Amino acid sequence: MFINKDVCIGDYSYVYENTLIESGNIGKFCSIASNVSIGPDNHPINLVSTHPFLYDKKWSRKINIDTINYEYKNDSPPIIGNDVWIGRNAIILRNVTIGDGAIIGAGAVVTKDVEAFSIVGGVPARHIKYRFPEEIREKLLQIKWWDWPEEKIRENIELFYNVEKFIKKFYHSGENEYV
């Protein structure tokens, strides 16, 4: 497993073996399976070669090139929301935002943004379905249970097993304050 020092991983998120996280911000309560790749570096495709000897001093020194006339900037790191499940062997590319509660299927290659509570899969990853109807998704996004203190989660754990009861207790339309 490799996690770059610049990567931020939220509370209670976990990462299984053989996963490579080169860049990104990962929310709370995320489940990341084994052999996942998140935010790998890209290579410029508009030069004669895609090899890093043209833009990376470490590589240019290996073949005795003193001057590099090209400044390559990698794309933005991926942003992974809270309570996201990423299946085994998935690849999450840069310039991607994955919404809260999303599920990334095993082996998927995510090249575009993924909506909250969306289930995606395939190469490239495509929307399969939503975990919940729109009304429930919107309410869960407003409740933001992943930001609750640990004690509040423990006290209400039974409600986590029933979405309707959970929303009935914690969603209050027009208010930003939750019981």
**Does residue 173 register a pLDDT over 80?**
no
Same domain, 81 and 124: yes
Q: Please check whether residue 64 lies inside any domain of the structure.
A: no
Same domain, 145 and 123: no
Q: Which residue has the higher pLDDT, 2 or 111?
A: 111
- Coil, helix or strand for 79? strand
Same domain, 124 and 145: no
Catalytic residues: 43
**Does residue 157 register a pLDDT over 50?**
yes
pLDDT of residue 45: 85
Q: Please check whether residue 67 lies inside any domain of the structure.
A: no
Same domain, 123 and 103: yes
Same domain, 83 and 115: yes
- 166 falls in which pLDDT band (50, 70, 90)? very high
Q: Please check whether residue 54 lies inside any domain of the structure.
A: no
Same domain, 91 and 124: yes
pLDDT of residue 179: 44
Transcribe 84-144 into DSSP letters.
Answer: -EE-TT-EE-SS-EE-TT-EE-TT-EE-S-B-TTEEEETTTTEEEEESS-HHHHHHHHHH-
Same domain, 24 and 84: yes
**Does residue 178 register a pLDDT over 50?**
no
Same domain, 161 and 84: no
The answer to whether 69 and 15 are in contact (CB under 8 A) is no
Same domain, 29 and 108: yes
Q: What is the pLDDT of residues 94-153, one digit of tens each?
A: 999 999 999 999 999 999 999 999 999 999 999 999 999 999 999 999 999 999 999 999
110/107 Cα distance (integer angstroms): 10
Q: Please check whether residue 48 lies inside any domain of the structure.
A: no
Share of residues in the chain with pLDDT > 90 (%): 74
Q: How many domains does the chain have?
A: 2
Point out the least confidently predicted range of 1-10, 21-30, 125-134: 1-10
Average pLDDT over residues 24-32: 98
Same domain, 100 and 143: no
Beta strands (DSSP E) in 5-107 are 8-9, 14-15, 20-21, 25-26, 31-32, 37-38, 79-80, 85-86, 91-92, 97-98, 103-104
Same domain, 156 and 83: no
pLDDT of residue 75: 86
Question: What letter represents residue 172's amino acid?
Answer: H
Same domain, 83 and 122: yes
Q: Which domain holds residue 166?
A: 134-170
CATH number, domain of 101, equals 2.160.10.10
Question: What letter represents residue 18's amino acid?
Answer: N
* pTM for the structure as a whole: 0.89
Q: Please check whether residue 117 lies inside any domain of the structure.
A: yes
